[in-house]
Chain A
Amino acid sequence: METLTAARAQMEVSLAFHMVFAALGIGMPLLMVAAEALWLRTGRAHYRALARKWAKAAALTFAIGAVSGTALSFELGLLWPRFMAFAGGIIGPAFALEGYAFFLEAIFLGLYLYGWEKLSSRAHLAAGAAVAASGMASGILVVAANAWMQQPAGFVLVDGKATQVSPFAPFLSRAWPVMSVHSTLSCYIATGFAAAGVYALGLLRGRRDAYHRSGLGLALGLATLAAVLQPVSGHFSADHTANHQPLKLAAYEAHFHTTRGAAEVIGGIPDVEARTVHGAIRIAKLLSFLAFADPEAEVRGLDAFPRELWPNVLVAHLAFQLMVGCAFALIGAGLWFWWTRWRRREPGRWLLRALVAASPLGVLALEAGWIVTEVGRQPWIIQGVMKTRDGVTPVSAVPATCFGFSVLYLVLGIALALLLRRLATGAPPSISIDIHTPEVAHAR
């Protein structure tokens, strides 16, 4: 395997692994603190049981997110030293600020997880809220670095060197607001639907108690809200991409030929040689409308760009279809649940089955969306400035480390999945007989 392929593979494996736990580490704390707030307000013990359960899930996912994130901060240099020599000083401020947010998250998570008996109920809740807030902030800040790679800003290129670098460069990238909203929502969608599946399964197995009902309701409250907002954010993303990374848009839409009134291509397998898509559904003029709010607008196709700058059209298109498909399935499942609830009906078996089936789709959509944006940016590591192959390390041992890290993450992923499954199916303590008021129970 050549070094570039191996380095990309190692980066992909590391990010794909990290992203799941980073997303859950952002979403789980919000669920846990919401459950604790409800417990303190209502004194109903099943909320406390939910908060403790979700705190454990947050602890596991945060720890794995933290160590795999550390690995990534090293891998940026280990795999892409020439990129970091060029860009380290430019994207660094985003990582520096993210470092503070992440630090606060680690501190307050320690206080939250181990402070149930040591802190007052109000201080404990505040610590939990600080975890949720700093988790969200660190996600938003670190996305600035990636946004800058998509749409570099804040420096002047002179003889291949960056000069007049603004310390706010990563935050000046106009891709940042669009991307950070989209990625933050995706974290809540992934977490909420994943958790909802656990409680839907419990209800299907006949455990129709307050613990399972509230677990399902809270998880779907967060997840559905985020899911219905996501198409709006996605529209702004597509709009931004159409204007600033038109080649990426053409690739993931599998739009080969520049046309006015371009059709939206749904599904199908792109054939790059024949410059067509086999087996797709075409909706006339929809792509022009979505990208430029004008059904007659001209959308540049892949043919408007040199062939050697095309990203992998097949991967980008399929990943995009997968992301959008998952998103609409999740919106449907979420709205079905709330429709049932609004009509004061018990969730039926088919609804619960659908929610169990939808459980992994949020994570799948997250991964697919990341593939769209990263594969769609190739062959650039910094759009228009540096090619990925020019950033790669000269060290020849990358295939070995790539293999090693893949095995490591596979083993850890399996072990963690087993532990989370045990957490999910483990019966909560006898909550129905716990009638203490929150303050008393908290002090126990």
Chain B
Amino acid sequence: MPADLAAGLALAALIAYAVLAGADFGGGIWDALARGPRRDAQRDAIAHAMGPVWEANHVWLIFVVVLLFTCFPRAYAALSVALFTPFHLVLLGIILRGAAFVFRAYSPQSIRRPGAPGRQARRWGAVFGAASVITPVLLGMCLGAVSAGGVHVGAGGVVSIAGAAPWLRPLSLAMGGFALAVCAYLAAVYLANETEGALRADFRRRALWAGTAVVAMSVLVLPLLRARAPHLWHGLLSARAWPVIAVGVTAALLSGWALWRHRPRLARTATVAQTACLLAGWGIAQHPYLIYPDVTVHTAAAGEATLRFVLWSTPFGMMLLLPSLGWLFRVFKGEAMRLTDAPGEGGAG
């Protein structure tokens, strides 16, 4: 039981990471795809939205990793061997994304200052955009690899891989594309909330495109799931998972409708619910497997005392964390940014 709760905690942290940091990656995607007469204004709005919160959002990933190696050390060790290459590539993306974002902000004539960005700032901007596109794809591929069933863990924790690299199989690739579309959608919906006027129209249009891409990617993922990961497919349709999935699909439809009808706030709430429910549904369907088919929550669990420590420390940690996070978001996400907002001396600059 403590092992299941700990797994639930890791899943909750993963959902928080997806909903919050996913949108930061999405911001980078739209930075890379910024077009038209308001190109610099779009990039400025993205930097403005990400600046104060992206580092806090990023820490959710560290929580996932720490929960995994503290509560399920054998699963963490097996994943580190099986996904050696994609994890290194994820790290490359994470390091370049974060570094390029701050380097751009502190370059001469960065995007946060009025006027056209300088050459150095443009270069770091390009790195930031590229890394923001690649990282969520790789993370989605890793998630796919965990479900695909290609990683075998024998006695003594010896990892063997049957056939092609699990992260390069069709299902994993499709999951990578799905993750990319979801990040782009989250970001565009949030940005439509945090901007006004022409910029809001830009991001609403982008959200509609990204929403279409999410639907397209699900159409691609579903048959692959049925063919390549039948255990997960049946899990998703099982009595414990389908209600969650059904809520997620309903929320997805609602968010699309709300966007179409120019109701960005409702769209934002629905998009968060959609992402959270789909990931939760995946987690529930995957249960009790951490790595299908050889590693379960129970076979990989650390000692009971360790699990209890993690579970008992969580409410105390959250008592410090959640009010602080609430303050952060109230200060910076309480109002929409207008095109006329000159960053000036404010911001990080």
In the complex where A77-B69, A111-B328 touch, is A89 in contact with B92 (Cβ < 8 A)? no
CB distance from A18 to the nearest CB of B (A): 11
- Confirm or deny: A104 has a beta carbon within 8 angstroms of a beta carbon on chain B: yes
B residues in contact with A114, CB < 8 Å: 51-52, 332, 346-348
B window 7-29: CB within 8 A of A: none
In the complex where A89-B303, A92-B302, A113-B52 touch, is A70 in contact with B346 (Cβ < 8 A)? no
Interface contact A89-B302, CB-CB below 8 Å:
yes
Interface contact A423-B106, CB-CB below 8 Å:
yes
Question: Could you give, for residues 69-100 of chain A, a 1 whenever the CB lies within 8 Å of some chain B CB and a 0 otherwise?
Answer: 11101111110011011111110110111011
**Range class of the A interface residue count:** 35 or more
Which one, A68, A74, A85, A405, contacts B65 given CB within 8 A? A74
Q: Is the interface of B mostly helix, strand, loop or mixed?
A: helix
Q: Residue among A69, A78, A395, A397 with the most chain B CB within 10 A?
A: A78
A residues in contact with B157, CB < 8 Å: 81-82, 85
Distance A78 CA – B88 CA, assembled complex (angstroms): 8
CB distance from A52 to the nearest CB of B (A): 9
B residues in contact with A423, CB < 8 Å: 106
Interface contact B84-A117, CB-CB below 8 Å:
no
In the complex where A90-B306, A103-B321, A107-B325 touch, is A393 in contact with B80 (Cβ < 8 A)? yes
Distance A241 CA – B332 CA, assembled complex (angstroms): 49
A residues in contact with B81, CB < 8 Å: 81, 393-395
- Confirm or deny: A384 has a beta carbon within 8 angstroms of a beta carbon on chain B: no
Question: Could you give, for residues 159-181 of chain A, a 1 whenever the CB lies within 8 Å of some chain B CB and a 0 otherwise?
Answer: 00011011110000000000000
A residues in contact with B331, CB < 8 Å: 111, 115, 118-119
- Confirm or deny: B95 has a beta carbon within 8 angstroms of a beta carbon on chain A: yes
A window 104-131: CB within 8 A of B: 104, 106-111, 113-119, 130
Interface contact A81-B55, CB-CB below 8 Å:
no
Distance A89 CA – B74 CA, assembled complex (angstroms): 9
Kindly report which residue of chain A lies nearest to residue B157, judged by CB atoms: A85
What is the size, in residues, of chain B's interface with A at 8 Å between Cβ atoms?
A: 66
CB distance from B14 to the nearest CB of A (A): 14
Using a CB–CB cutoff of 8 Å, the interface residues on chain A facing chain B are 56, 59-60, 62-64, 66-71, 73-78, 81-82, 84-90, 92-93, 95-97, 99-100, 102-104, 106-111, 113-119, 130, 162-163, 165-168, 393-395, 397, 401, 404-405, 408, 412, 415-416, 419, 422-423
Using a CB–CB cutoff of 8 Å, the interface residues on chain B facing chain A are 51-53, 55-56, 58-59, 61-63, 65-67, 69-71, 73-74, 76-81, 84-85, 87-88, 90-92, 94-99, 101-103, 106-108, 157, 159, 302-303, 305-306, 308-310, 313, 317, 320-321, 324-325, 327-328, 331-332, 345-348
With contacts A70-B65, A116-B345 known, what are 19 further pairs, Cβ within 8 A? A59-B102, A63-B55, A68-B95, A74-B90, A81-B81, A85-B74, A85-B157, A89-B71, A89-B303, A92-B310, A95-B70, A99-B63, A108-B324, A113-B51, A113-B348, A114-B51, A166-B305, A404-B88, A415-B99
